[in-house]
Amino acid sequence: MFLAGVDVPDRTILDLARRLRDADHVTLADKLEAAWRSDDSTIALETADREALLEILDDAPAGLARLQAVLIQEHERKLGGGH
């Protein structure tokens, strides 16, 4: 499954959903789990979704470094006025 253009394994999607739920980002956790259940290959992320992911990726396993790097780059670009 792809998040922010990064291929994330299914088992990791479920781990992300658990981490999001633990951090009270229930809506995004539900969104990821629903996409996993329906075998969606890509999930569209809103700005709030990206911010929630960045919040939980601070202490995420090394396997999620690429996703974290992409989200940080997008966030910095947005803060700089880019799209």
Question: What does pLDDT average to over the chain?
Answer: 90
* Residue at token pair 């470094």: 65
Checking DSSP bridges between strand 6-7 and strand 2-3, what pairing results, if any? antiparallel
Residue 83 pLDDT > 60 = no
Q: Which amino acid appears at position 41 of this protein? A: S
- Over residues 71-77, the mean pLDDT reads 89
pLDDT band at 82 (very low <50, low <70, confident <90, very high): low
- The token pair that represents 62 in the structure block: 């090394």
Task: Read off the pTM.
Answer: 0.85
Count of all residues that appear for the chain in the document:
83
- The token pair that represents 80 in the structure block: 């700089």
